[in-house]
Amino acid sequence: MKNNKKIFVYDTTLRDGAQGAGVSFSLKGKLDLARKMDEFGFDYIEGGYAGANQKEMEFFSKMKSVRLKHAKLAAFGSTRRVKTNVKKDSQVDYLIKAGTPVVTIYGKSWRLHVKDVLRTTDAENMAMIHDTVAYLKDKKKEVIFDAEHYFDGFKDDPDFALMAVQSAVDAGADVIVLCDTNGGCLPHEVFDIVSKTKSSILVPLGIHVHNDSGMAAANTIEAVRAGVIQIQGTLNGLGERCGNANLCTVIPNLELKMGRICVGPKSLKRIMDLSEVANDYANLRDDDKAPYVGQNAFTHKAGTHIDAVNKNSKSFEHVDPTKVGNDRKLLVSEHSGGSSILLKAIELGVGRDKSPDEIREVLKSLKELEHKGYSFESADASFRMLIQKVLKQHKAFFDLEGFRVIIEKRSKDAPCISEASIKVRVNNEIEQTVSEGDGPVNALDGALRKALVRFYPEIAKVFLTDYRVRILDPETATAAKTQVIIESSDGKNTWGTVGVSGNIIEASWEALVDSVEYKLFKDEESND
- CATH, residue 447: 3.30.160
Q: So what's the pLDDT on residue 300?
A: 66
Q: Using alpha carbons, select from 342, 297, 295, 347 the residue that is nearest to residue 320.
A: 297
Let me know if residue 468 belongs to a domain.
Answer: no
The parent domain of residue 234 ranges over: 8-282
Q: What does the alpha-carbon distance between residue 374 and residue 485 come to, in Å, rounded to a whole number?
A: 10
Q: What pLDDT, in 10s, does the model give residues 103-142? A: 999 999 999 999 999 999 999 999 999 999 999 999 999 9
Q: Give a three-class secondary structure readout of 240-253.
A: CCCCECEHHHHHHH
Half-sphere exposure of 26 (CA within 13 A, CB side): 6
The C-alpha R_g of the chain, in whole angstroms, comes to 29
- CATH, residue 209: 3.20.20.70
Q: Does residue 227 carry a pLDDT above 80?
A: yes
- The stretch 263-270 carries a mean pLDDT of 95
Q: So what's the pLDDT on residue 338?
A: 44
Domain boundary among the residues 439, 455, 471 is at 455
At 334, phi and psi to the nearest 5?
Answer: -65, -10
Q: What does the alpha-carbon distance between residue 170 and residue 158 come to, in Å, rounded to a whole number?
A: 18
Q: 108 in helix, strand or coil?
A: strand
Strands 230-233 and 8-11: parallel
In a shared domain, residues 311 and 276: no
In a shared domain, residues 159 and 252: yes
Give whichever of 38-42, 284-288, 501-505, 518-522 has the largest mean pLDDT.
38-42
Let me know if residue 521 belongs to a domain.
Answer: no
Q: Where are the alpha helices (DSSP H) in 102-257?
A: 111-113, 122-138, 150-156, 158-170, 187-198, 216-226, 247-252
Q: What pLDDT, in 10s, does the model give residues 163-204? A: 999 999 999 999 999 999 999 999 999 999 999 999 999 999
Q: So what's the pLDDT on residue 523?
A: 82
Q: What pLDDT, in 10s, does the model give residues 418-462? A: 999 999 999 889 999 999 988 888 899 999 989 999 999 988 888
Let me know if residue 107 belongs to a domain.
Answer: yes
Let me know if residue 479 belongs to a domain.
Answer: no
Q: So what's the pLDDT on residue 243?
A: 96
Let me know if residue 389 belongs to a domain.
Answer: no
Q: What pLDDT, in 10s, does the model give residues 435-444? A: 998 888 889 9
In a shared domain, residues 103 and 237: yes
pTM of the model: 0.72
In a shared domain, residues 368 and 404: no
At 105, phi and psi to the nearest 5?
Answer: -125, 150
In a shared domain, residues 218 and 342: no
Let me know if residue 292 belongs to a domain.
Answer: no
Chain Cα centroid distance, residue 26: 18
In a shared domain, residues 152 and 215: yes
Q: How sure is the predictor about 1, in pLDDT bands with cuts at 50, 70 and 90?
A: very low
Residues 6+ apart with CB under 8 A from 123: none
The alpha carbon dihedral of 341, 344, 348, 349 has a sign of positive
Let me know if residue 515 belongs to a domain.
Answer: no
In a shared domain, residues 303 and 275: no
Q: So what's the pLDDT on residue 384?
A: 74
Q: What pLDDT, in 10s, does the model give residues 249-261? A: 999 999 999 999 9
Residues 6+ apart with CB under 8 A from 80: 86, 89, 91, 92, 128, 131, 132, 135
In a shared domain, residues 105 and 209: yes
Q: What does the alpha-carbon distance between residue 2 and residue 198 come to, in Å, rounded to a whole number?
A: 16
Strands 299-300 and 329-330: parallel
What integer best gives the mean pLDDT of the chain? 87
In a shared domain, residues 347 and 245: no
Q: What does the alpha-carbon distance between residue 164 and residue 144 come to, in Å, rounded to a whole number?
A: 14
Q: Does residue 330 carry a pLDDT above 80?
A: no
Kindly report the number of other CB atoms within 10 A of residue 409's CB atom: 10
Q: What does the alpha-carbon distance between residue 148 and residue 208 come to, in Å, rounded to a whole number?
A: 9
Q: So what's the pLDDT on residue 337?
A: 47
Domain boundary among the residues 282, 307, 324 is at 282
Q: So what's the pLDDT on residue 524?
A: 77
Domain boundary among the residues 455, 470, 503 is at 455
Chain Cα centroid distance, residue 133: 35
Q: How sure is the predictor about 360, in pLDDT bands with cuts at 50, 70 and 90?
A: low
In a shared domain, residues 117 and 85: yes
Q: Using alpha carbons, select from 215, 224, 211, 227 the residue that is nearest to residue 186.
A: 215
Let me know if residue 72 belongs to a domain.
Answer: yes
Q: What pLDDT, in 10s, does the model give residues 34-62? A: 999 999 999 999 999 998 888 899 999 99
In a shared domain, residues 117 and 155: yes
Q: So what's the pLDDT on residue 386?
A: 72
How many separate domains does the chain show?
A: 3
In a shared domain, residues 128 and 173: yes
